Structure 1
Amino acid sequence: MPQHVNLVKLCVGCESVDDLARFQRERGMGDPDWLPRHVTRMWPKREAELVAGGSLYWVVKGAILARQRILRLDEVIGQDGIRRCGIVMAREIHRTQTAPRRAFQGWRYLAPADAPADLPPGREGEEALPAELSSKLAEIGIF
């Protein structure tokens, strides 16, 4: 089995992890089989490594704050006839330790060794610190 790799992606339009969760819940309302899916223009060349245990790490307001396990990649043909990649994820959103990340376009690969750890049990439901404060704490190694 191949070593896994992760993706990191900007969570455009969301102000918080709660916004992401709410958006995904609303998209799947009424369909018990629905799974969150993010459609992207490019197809990852490292597909086998992504589905071997990888996650999509979400950047919210300048910092990685959460991840979702990648289950599979689906082909999605747009109305324009162009083939795109649907990254299908598990429903559960895992909050992570804050990791500052500069803006970028598309997605980037993220090695497991460089991925922020999940928050410890009991801290997942805590109110998130303001993004700027959280980023500053992470920069100096406190959070």
Structure 2
Amino acid sequence: MTTPVHLIKLSVGSESVEQIASWQKSRSGQRKDGRYYHLTRMFPKRTKEILAGGSIYWVVQGLIQARQRVERFEEMIGSDGIRRCAIFLDPELIRTEAAPRRPFQGWRYLNPEDAPRDLTPDAPSDDDLPTDLRIALAEIGVR
């Protein structure tokens, strides 16, 4: 049995999880078979582990705040002839506990034991808190 591994990615320009959802819904040009995909230059080498139940964890304003299950990977060749990787994502964005992350380029692997827990649907949201305060609270373990 393959142990799942996750991806982690900055959602550049997003200020909230709701903005990610809205952006994905509006990207009709970035849909295939009605499914949203995230396009990236590099193919993960650990696709088998990711497809065994992995998700992409989104970093918004310095905090991991949500995840989406990865459904599949597909090669796409752009009009420029460059080979890219389409990461097809489940449309459901699942909120997670806030976990601070420093900026990084591209995506990284995230082991399950390092992934923040999912929030329950009735969990209070801290979206109204200033970003600096959310980061400080997450850094000291207040969730």
Same fold (TM over 0.5): yes
Contact kept, 8 Å, 1:28 with 1:35, in 2: the verdict is no
| Other-structure match for 2:84 | 84
The aligned amino acid for 1:63 is L
| Other-structure match for 1:106 | 106
| Other-structure match for 1:139 | 139
Q: Which moved more, 1:97-106 or 1:78-87?
A: 78-87
- Displacement over 2 Å in runs of 4+: none
Deviation of 1:121 after TM superposition, in Å, equals 3.2
Structure 1 unmatched runs, 5+: none
Deviation of 1:27 after TM superposition, in Å, equals 2.1
| Other-structure match for 2:122 | 122
Contact kept, 8 Å, 2:58 with 2:67, in 1: the verdict is yes
How much is the aligned-residue C-alpha RMSD, in angstroms?
1.9
Structure 2 unmatched runs, 5+: none
Q: Which moved more, 1:34-43 or 1:129-138?
A: 129-138
Q: TM-score, normalised by structure 1?
A: 0.91
Deviation of 1:79 after TM superposition, in Å, equals 1.5
Q: TM-score, normalised by structure 2?
A: 0.91
Q: 1:142 to 1:21 in 2, by over 3 A?
A: same
Identity %: 54
The aligned amino acid for 1:112 is P
Matches within 5 A, 1:61-80: 61-80=61-80
| Other-structure match for 2:56 | 56
Deviation of 1:49 after TM superposition, in Å, equals 0.6
- Does 2:2 align with 1:2? yes
Deviation of 1:2 after TM superposition, in Å, equals 1.1
The aligned amino acid for 2:89 is M
Describe the SS at the equivalent of 1:66: strand
